[in-house]
Amino acid sequence: MSTDLSALAPRDKAQILAQALPYIRKFHGKTMVIKYGGNAMTDPALQAAFAEDVVLLKLVGINPVVVHGGGPQIETALKRLGKEGKFIQGMRVTDAETMEVVEWVLGGEVQQDIVGLINQAGGKAVGLTGRDGGLIHARKLKMLDQKDPSVEHDVGQVGDIEQIDPSVVKALQDDQFIPVVSPIGYGAQNESYNINADVVAAKLATVLQAEKLLMLTNIPGVLDKQSQLLPELTPRRIDELVADGTISGGMLPKIAGALDAAKSGVNAVHIIDGRVPHALLLEVLGNEPFGTMIRSH
């Protein structure tokens, strides 16, 4: 799929813009939380398209807030140090040394790359971690075994969100900035916690009363056992898919967070394919169903 609009006839361009107008009107002044991850974060052409989309949304009066992951980048950094990543039920086990790596990879390298890309595309992005403005208060995650809830796994400095104070995000939004949030939280003793980025995005969308939560992934959306796209999911269907193993691993926290946000008043939660150039614009400003929509009932 080409992303070059210059090849289009003026009439076609005008038609595209006219089709986007009702959506621009509908979402003007609304907040959208975007979970940025997967190929969209590592492929240079997709990175550039993502940054352009975020800037365009801001320019037409929508307030995007970006929450990013960084699993592959953390893995690369750990390998350089000779450390092997370990996961339990889709969550990274985070000892003190791994936490240091997580902080400098997410809060430094990855966050600043995204800020740079958005600024290069003409936006004004500002990077935040959970420490900034007391954004994300966290405590140690108690992870119970899925099969035997009497067993608790110690996953180290992995955090559970206690509270999000969105005032720093709101202040930046009101001032024409685009917040870029790293999923790192802080505890009562100022200790750092690695938090699943999907969970942070979902909770932030809830607290900001976002119009939409958009989660970019490396798949077209949620797929059934036959690899067919499921255009929408209800809580009951999600339970069935978890029970039969269709939803597992890293998809578990993503779906749990999405469902939580949908039940907490976020109007629309979509899991979309970040490998499609300009996936964000296609979802927000288009009328074609795209990815999987999570419903609250």
What tokens appear for 107 in the block? 């809060």
Return the structure tokens found at 110: 């990855």
- Is there a binding annotation on residue 274? no
Residue 29: both structure tokens together: 């002044």
In single-letter form, the type of residue at position 69 comes to G
d(CA 159, CA 201): 14
State yes or no: 85 annotated in a binding site.
Answer: no
Q: What is the CA radius of gyration of the chain?
A: 19
- What is the pairing mode between strands 87-88 and 91-92? antiparallel
Query: What residues contact residue 222 under an 8 Å CB cut-off, 6+ apart?
Result: 229, 230, 233, 241, 247, 251, 255, 271, 292
The pair of three-digit structure tokens given for residue 230, joined into one six-digit string: 């499921």
CA 284 to CA 280: how far, in whole Å?
A: 6
257 is in an annotated binding site: no
At position 283, the amino acid (one-letter code) is: E
According to the annotation, is 131 in a ligand binding site?
A: no
Show Cβ contacts of residue 226 under 8 Å, excluding neighbours closer than 6 positions.
none
Sequence-ordered list of residues with C-beta below 8 angstroms from that of 245, at least 6 positions apart, any chain: none
CA distances from 102 to 17, 160, 195, 271, 274 (A): 41, 16, 10, 25, 23
* Residues flagged as binding site: 70-71, 92, 194
* Residues flagged as binding site for substrate: 70-71, 92, 194
